[in-house]
Structure 1
Amino acid sequence: MNDLQQLVRQLIPNQDENNKVFTEQKNSAAELGSVFYSGQYRGDQASFRWEPQEKHVRQLIQLDGDKAAKILGALAHKQRLDILRSVLQEPLTGPDLVERLNMGTTGQLYHHIKALVGADLLVQEERGGKYTIPGPRALPLLLLLAAASDLMDTSDYLAMTEARTNAHAYLGGAQEVYDPHLLLWAVVENCILEHLHGTCSEVSLFLHADGSITVADNGRGIPVQALPGSEHPRVQTVLTDMSRLSSSATFLAPGSEKGISMPVVNALSLKLSVEIRRDGRVFQQHYKHGIPQSELQTVGVTKETGTSVTFLPDRDIFGKSFELSMLEKQAEDFAVLYPKLNIHVWSDLA
């Protein structure tokens, strides 16, 4: 909690005279500002309204850390959160919850319900009756879920940070110098899967003078529409969601514990850019250490389809550079394995 408080302090910017979100008061400690909120909850059984509220930021970041952690910890329990989300939709009995959440036994359910009732997050209409969210708790819970949805992508970035910290698990054990070609072959594998699907016949590898490399194919292009329940384009999920290993190509380095997926390539790269050609348009997005530096932008029109990924392996992790001779040798090996796939190697090197 102390780390969170410190982070909030760092995130609050100094504003100029033309953008007075927070003002700096001289001769006193800098005023951190306030959060204003209000709202209304309407359900089938009841309706509750919050009058406008104000919480000083200083008050929020000085909350009792132990108590705040207990609240967040209780709500972070998946089964308890599932119970609350279900009851928010409509009042439900215990058997209703067991069936809806596939919990198997009522004993498992009531263990969590007892905790939620004790915390005043659930009430039961009568013995054996339906459970509901107490009126004063409904809106704060919804606001907390709304805040969680805005912070949802941070779970991906935390996982990518862990991948950087534990790079050896993906790259083949503890070594002094890791081979960046491992990332390259993981990206190329995605092109090969597209080829096996029958939608890719050309792959080009461009080695750049700054040490970065581009892998371009003429496949379908990574989809750009948002997935259900997400505000982010699918390409961002493909490049950042570490939990979707099963739905993406996974290259296994010799001696490694985990496969190298596209999010791993992104996490272990100092910078990465993706360009997608599909639906008559050209889309582009940039990343640094796996974190988006821009929204997915439309930058042109085209009649072509395909994906181009340009990335620069992080030199703090990879002590070697890409070798043109190794690229050419691997392209020859791929030509034997996939005779209908044309792989070209180009270089900006003098």
Structure 2
Amino acid sequence: MRVSSSYILAFFHAIVWAAILFFPFFIADPDTGYAIGAVPGAFFTLAGLIHLGIFYVNAYYFFPKFFNRRTWWLYVLLSILLVGVSLVLKTILLHSWFSETLVTPVANRIIFAPSFGIYVISIVYRKILDTIRRERLQKEERAEQLATELKFLRSQINPHFLFNTLTNLVSLARKKSELLEPALIQLSDLMRYMLYDTQGKRVPLLKEITYLRNYIGLQQLRFGEHIDVSATIELSPDMEEQSLIEPMLLIPFVENAFKHGTSHLEHPEIVIHLTGQQGQLVFRVSNRIAPSSAETSKDRNSGIGLANVKKRLDLLYGNAYRLDIGQQNGWYEVTLKLTLS
């Protein structure tokens, strides 16, 4: 059961004030009435109750309510009144109940100076408390903004994916292929994952791999023997079962490979390699590319998926990832190295 921070703070206050109020009874001699110097222990405890009043009245009412540009002057007056009342109460207490106390300059400092000290401490405490709360609110706002942005980025993935997949199914329908039915079943599995399993922050790596395999299978149903697809997945058992990953993080690289690695080529070829152990994931996707003269036919939206995933990587993984993209000897290759939780 998680203990609220407010209960922890209240417990801390109770411990501190108990130590202050009963301080004389811990360190002084009972034969002297638990006196600290010339000040009786009982007076020290009663005065501590006055200090407690100064602390909480100023820290939780006067300072937060009146310390601002409009009412700062009122705060100053109330502070003077608060400290002044405490000094008067101590004087009345001293003369009424502890008249036998020998008042000396040292005793005066022990009796009256703490009112000023506690007042200053209450201001420092209030400012620290306000700073902590302000930072917590800023952190919550940043987290909410991050969650909103990630939700928006995920929502961008769905129509982009559906646009490509429905194009694939239209192609099968035109051919009146018997592969259309299994393709629709695979699509329903993919949609179930997208709609229900990606609502949380992260998903088990095994689910993301299953989604990846279904997508590759769907594409292979469309292209058949017209494209050579090689997919290798080598993960340690503990990583596959225990590691978590941002959902739909790997698929844009594969989408990009199928989209641009299957046109203007006589023998399209895509190689997908996923390895991982001890929390380190390496995902490499390579596809043959057409000569540069043919690349002018790419549509303007070709970079949506990769731009999206780069932004998500920056937001969620910071320095825990490395993304390398390049092309060489007629191959376009993307390599993602990622540290998983």
Confirm or deny a common fold (TM above 0.5): no
- TM-score where L is the length of structure 2: 0.22
Judging by fraction of residues, say which structure has more strand. Answer: 1
Judging by fraction of residues, say which structure has more helix. Answer: 2
Larger radius of gyration: 2
- TM-score where L is the length of structure 1: 0.22
For CA contacts below 8 A with separation 6 or more, give which structure has more relative contact order. 1
